[in-house]
Amino acid sequence: MTVTPSAASAGIAADITALPDADLMLLVASGVIEAPIAELFRRHNPGLYNYVAWLCRGDTGEAEDIAQRTWIQLMTRCGDYLPTAAFRTFLFQIARNAWMDQVRSAHARLRESLDDHEAAMPADDLTPEAEAQLRQNMAAVHDALLQLPVTQREVVVLRYFSDMSVEDIAAMLGEKFETVKSRLRYAFMRLRVVLAEVSPGDAGRELRP
């Protein structure tokens, strides 16, 4: 596939920080690597590391290794990137694949099934007040998140700590939109219990169906 950088990309001597992610990736694909990768790293590595660290259950050494391998693989897969897709979705998919490979190599379980029992579903999303409460009580919520099945923990981290839309999460995971929403609902049911413990008077009101 022949990659043609955009007109904006041609002026690499100009302020590279003004270029969108897609143009930076086109520069990488055309052989201009160092400055574009450095700028993409500056923009996206904090969110990437945060996502991987949650997948690794807080193992910082493992998270750093996967994040580093993700950026290396990004440079080898730059030709696979399509400007029609969000760069962050592409980047996080590489990281997720790297994590999955690591889990497989350790002969660990890759996926955990959702609960089989029927349960009343809470609201599809958190209210702004409930989201703020989650962030304010992260010391308590942190342990609860680590106890979630990985499929639930992953979508919560992507949605509320990486600011990724449900549509982008579904695209990244290769899942249906409703599957992602269902995982979020079940995760909220469990996190609602944590909110009830740290703030009994508010949790039920803010997370009610």
73-99: average pLDDT? 89
pLDDT band with cut points at 50, 70 and 90 for residue 150: confident
Instruction: Please determine, for residue 43, whether its predicted confidence score (pLDDT) is greater than 90.
Output: yes
Q: Which range has the top average pLDDT, 3-7, 91-95, 100-104, 156-160? A: 91-95
Instruction: Please determine, for residue 124, whether its predicted confidence score (pLDDT) is greater than 70.
Output: no
Q: Which range has the top average pLDDT, 2-6, 19-23, 159-163? A: 19-23
Report d(CA 73, CA 48) in Å as an integer. Answer: 14
pLDDT of residue 195: 63
DSSP state for residue 197 in the 8-state scheme:
H
Instruction: Please determine, for residue 174, whether its predicted confidence score (pLDDT) is greater than 90.
Output: no
Q: Residue 209, Cα to own-chain centre: how many angstroms? A: 26
Domains of the chain: 7-105 (1.10.1740.10), 128-206 (1.10.10.10)
Q: Output the CA–CA distances (angstroms, integers) from residue 168 to 58, 172, 193, in the order listed.
A: 24, 6, 28
187 close to 158: Cβ distance less than 8 angstroms: no
pLDDT of residue 108: 40
Instruction: Please determine, for residue 120, whether its predicted confidence score (pLDDT) is greater than 50.
Output: no
Give the pTM.
0.60
Instruction: Please determine, for residue 78, whether its predicted confidence score (pLDDT) is greater than 80.
Output: yes
74 close to 94: Cβ distance less than 8 angstroms: yes
Give per-residue pLDDT as tens, 188-207.
Answer: 888 777 667 655 554 444 43
